[in-house]
Amino acid sequence: MSAGAPARPTVAAPPAIEARGLGWRYPSGAVIGPVDLEVRPGEVVLLTGATGSGKSTVLRALAGLLPRDGLGRATGAARLGDLDPAALPAERVRALGFVAQEPDDQLCTGRVGDEVAFGLESLALPEEEIPVRVAEALAAVGLDLPWERSTAALSGGQKQRVALAAALAPGAGRLLLDEPTSQLDPEGARGLLRAVRDLADRRGVAVLLVEHRLEEALAIADRVVILEAGASVADLPAAEVLRDPSALRSRGLEVPELVALFAALGHPTRPRDAEEALAALGRAPSPETGKARRRGRAADPALISLRGAEAGWPDGPVVLKDVDLDLGAGERVAVLGPNGAGKSTLLALLAGNLRARRGTRTARLGGGPHGTRSAIRVPQNPDLSLFCGSVAEEIAYGPRARGLSGAALALRREENLAAFGLGELAGRPPQGLSRGQRLRVAVAAAAACGPDVLLLDEPTTGQDRQHVDAILAALAGPGRAGALVFATHDVRLALEHATRALVVEGGRIVLDGPPEEVVAEAARRPGTALRVPELARLCALLGLSPRPAEELARALG
């Protein structure tokens, strides 16, 4: 949003979504609230805050999904217009669309078309109307897939789109969205959020959106509600947050990079993209320089080598094609690329969870700091990795299974609890934590095993920027000399924490080299599927290597 962009008209209708002193006490003793917010028809309100601040709990309370029986206790009031969310009628899909943080928790049929049609069929709509609504909903979220495609065979990002399409199809006037872009590539995230804004503008839908991707979310939001320690502490117009990002910065939340740059420069403009930023700075684009990156040189000695490898999931098509890759000790490799490019498949192949259908995978493990012989992969969904009764037990489980006991086991457990900021959660059951906290537990439990190679699939999901940086800093700490590979859509993460970056497109590695060179080349290369952040694109237009906003501000004087 630029500084001169017209403000959206103030909506005077009664709130469609409302919380007044809303709170929830978990059986563990954790407390959320009090929370006050409202969303009127046609508004998009961004609900943000640090990981574990209660955002998902607030959405579930407003959706009427917190248990009414048991040890938890609700306080305050939640309303959906004149409806009580805890007592919605059977036709709740007409009143409310809810998309959970983890799409696997929400998908209940085996095929894409059936999933989107499920709510429509429960409303007993005319048979001829259902396919039209399904097609409209899938188009709205940018998902072009055969309707008979198995939902189990979809990527995490594709599952998110299907869940959102299923929520949109019945035409609800309210949407509660819990990180709907967390597993989408940047281009997909922008497209989906534009579709959400369009629903608010054209259909008057009231949207309450939880997001950590603030750059994209602020561009479509009317207002921002910030949670801190479970309570609402700020309710501000999005335009005000863009003009003065101190409300985000003071709470450790990510400030959009172009906003941070222009705030540091003392410039009143808040550009939407790199081209607008270049014009505001009065600069002309630099002539294109550089050549396409060659493949990164072979690591010596390699922990894992792939040669001419082809791979795909069982009973599925070939996803990876002709992959040559050497992974060396001490490398920190970011795997970038759009949804469906093959990033998760590459991690599974490196971990030995998939066999190469053609070509070879050679592993020379055993040189890790703890004498282990392993490559451990943490999947996108952390719940697939967690099964113990407490966080402390989860961290200790792997080292105990590998022979540690007594004081050595206790030391390993405490070191990893501290390194990943989990000390205060040690006695709590992982299943009762937020998704971002559960992911931190899963990463810490894998790291505690001291693997030679640790592979993380989307470690930013559900995490605020501080926790993401803390996770990767912990994995670079003393005694962790093995290789780290992480698949991510967050290019800034690659620039700040990786020693090497790979770009995967169409199942092939198309760029491989130092992160700043790979990102600069991707920014210059026409037709690449990798969406480069606007600040990095601005650097490329200026003829500079990618750098943080503060550093670029100094370079620009």
What digits encode the pLDDT tens for the residues 205-235?
A: 999 999 888 888 998 999 999 999 899 999 9
303-524 has the same fold as 15-96+173-255 = yes
Q: Which two tokens stand for residue 244?
A: 């003065």
Strands 174-178 and 206-210: parallel
CATH architecture of 303-524: 3-Layer(aba) Sandwich (3.40)
Average pLDDT over residues 478-492: 84
User: Would you state the pLDDT for residue 358?
Assistant: 95
465-481: average pLDDT: 79
pLDDT digits (tens, 9 = 90+) for 6-34: 345 455 678 999 999 999 988 877 789 99
Question: Residue 425: CB partners within 8 Å, gap ≥ 6?
Answer: 391, 433, 437, 441
| Residue boundaries of the structural domains of the chain | 15-96+173-255, 104-171, 266-292+525-557, 303-524
Question: E strands within 284-393?
Answer: 302-311, 320-328, 332-336, 358-363, 375-378
Least confident of 81-85, 187-191, 422-426, 494-498: 187-191
514 cis-preceded (ω within 30 degrees of 0):
no
Within 329-451, strands assigned E span 332-336, 358-363, 375-378
Q: Which of 489, 459, 505, 468 is closest to 192 using CA atoms? A: 489
Backbone angles phi, psi at 78, to 5 degrees: -125, 135
Has residue 260 got a pLDDT over 60? yes
What pLDDT is recorded for position 182? 80
Do residues 142 and 174 make contact, with C-beta atoms less than 8 angstroms apart?
no
pLDDT attached to residue 370? 42
Please state whether the peptide bond connecting residue 180 to the residue before it is cis, i.e. omega within 30 degrees of 0: no
Its CATH class, for the domain covering 15-96+173-255, is alpha beta
Residue 290's pLDDT is 46
- CA torsion sign for 152, 154, 156, 161 is negative
Residues whose CB is less than 8 angstroms from the CB of residue 492 and which lie 6 or more positions away in sequence, other chains included: 257, 533, 536
Place of tokens 């698949």: 487
Q: In what order do the strands lie in the sheet with 320-328?
A: 320-328, 302-311, 358-363
Look at the alpha carbons of 54, 55, 60, 61 in this order and tell me if their dihedral is positive or negative: positive
Which pLDDT does position 200 carry in this prediction?
93
